[in-house]
């Protein structure tokens, strides 16, 4: 699949709901939970994490953490993202939830909350070959979008090409070669096992549009990169994203019987997105429709009017124009005082 990150629209898909082994692409959900904890304040980048014997025992891709080794959360995130460290993933899972099993339970809950209907996790790193550890290209795109849209700080790690660990003694090299060789690449995660073959969730940004390309079960590591590039190139060459916004500042709307005379109108940037084939984005026209007045009370976010985007008379997008603030209704006492102030008493 290839998905537009801003709107969540799929631009192309093939076998998008086929269940496959995700391998280390699993770690995208692990990273979501890590950044959820960072956002909530229950975890900090400079917190220290002690490696357990279980975390040390992980095979596959790893950074060779020793039992009892102490690293910061920030360093372990780097190890997960850049080197796809299974040991670092388990160490973080145990630190956040006390055990990998409990962490995986939260991973599945989070997946369910995102509507990932064909996904089930057994571990936090994707090393398992359990037939119960499965996902789909669609679901991977959904969780990839969740990570990059709601946790944009992840790009600070996913765009690293090379780095070091343990004061320069251990070299980290990004498993995602697109970071080095594809223009605009921003991430995100590779994966490979004997059962999964080779997969990738690749993200890239050009001209203000960020795309997510997911490839699963590719026969070789290089082929997954070539397929991801083909998907991204298709998306960038064929589609464009327009942020519809008023060509001139929106006027305030008068409010009748309100504690203020008018309410400022606005367009939410998140609602004013038009994704279409590039040929459809030429010669766009905008029309603003607002009422002569609004009756109090007006709540922040209430729809006041519409911004309509058309091309050759055809409506392509209708964006609600909302109240930027709340204006309460005058009480009887306030109306009386206001009336009294406007009256002139002559002797």
For the record, the structure tokens of 324 come out as 């930027």
94: part of which helix (H) or strand (E)?
helix 86-97
Q: Cis omega before residue 188 (within 30°)?
A: yes
**Closest of 145, 142, 117 to residue 19, by C-alpha:** 117
For the record, the structure tokens of 17 come out as 């709901």
- 27 as an active site residue: the answer is yes
154: part of which helix (H) or strand (E)?
none
List 52, 61, 84, 265, catalytic entry: 84
CA dist 174 → 80, 160, 269, 294 (Å): 10, 7, 34, 56
CB atoms within 10 A of CB 155: 18
Residue 230, helix vs strand vs coil: helix
For the record, the structure tokens of 7 come out as 């709107």
Helices 27-40/86-97 angle, 10° precision: 40
What does the alpha-carbon distance between residue 82 and residue 159 come to, in Å, rounded to a whole number? 9
- Residues forming the active site: 24, 27, 84
């Amino acid at each position: 699949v290839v998905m537009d990150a801003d709107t969540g629209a799929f631009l192309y898909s093939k076998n998008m709901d086929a269940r496959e082994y995700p391998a280390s692409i699993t770690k995208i959900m692990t990273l979501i939970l890590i950044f959820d904890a960072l956002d909530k304040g229950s975890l900090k980048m400079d917190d220290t994490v002690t490696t357990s014997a279980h975390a040390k025992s992980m095979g596959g891709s790893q950074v060779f953490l020793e039992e009892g080794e102490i690293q910061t959360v920030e360093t372990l995130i780097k190890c997960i993202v850049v080197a796809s460290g299974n040991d670092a993933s388990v160490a973080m899972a145990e630190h956040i939830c006390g055990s990998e099993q409990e962490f995986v339970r939260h991973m599945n809950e989070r997946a369910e909350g995102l509507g990932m209907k064909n996904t089930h996790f057994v571990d936090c790193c994707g090393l398992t070959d359990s037939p119960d550890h499965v996902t789909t290209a669609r679901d991977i795109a959904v969780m990839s979008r969740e990570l990059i849209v709601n946790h944009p700080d992840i790009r600070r790690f996913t765009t690293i090409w090379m780095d070091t660990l343990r004061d320069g003694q251990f070299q980290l090299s990004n498993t995602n070669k697109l970071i080095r060789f594809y223009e605009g690449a921003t991430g995100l995660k590779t994966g490979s096992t004997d059962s999964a073959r080779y997969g990738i969730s690749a993200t890239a940004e050009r001209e203000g549009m960020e795309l997510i390309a997911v490839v699963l079960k590719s026969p070789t590591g290089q082929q997954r990169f070539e397929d991801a590039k083909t998907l991204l190139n298709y998306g960038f060459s064929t589609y464009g994203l327009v942020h519809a916004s008023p060509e001139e500042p929106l006027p305030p709307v008068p409010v009748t019987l309100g504690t203020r005379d008018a309410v400022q109108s606005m367009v939410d940037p998140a609602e004013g997105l038009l994704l279409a084939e590039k040929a459809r984005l030429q010669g766009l026209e905008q029309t603003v429709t607002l009422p002569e007045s609004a009756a109090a009370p007006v709540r922040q976010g209430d729809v006041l009017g519409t911004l309509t985007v058309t091309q050759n008379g055809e409506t392509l997008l209708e964006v609600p124009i909302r109240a930027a603030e709340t204006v309460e209704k005058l009480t009887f006492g306030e109306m009386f005082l206001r009336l009294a102030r406007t009256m002139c008493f002559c002797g």
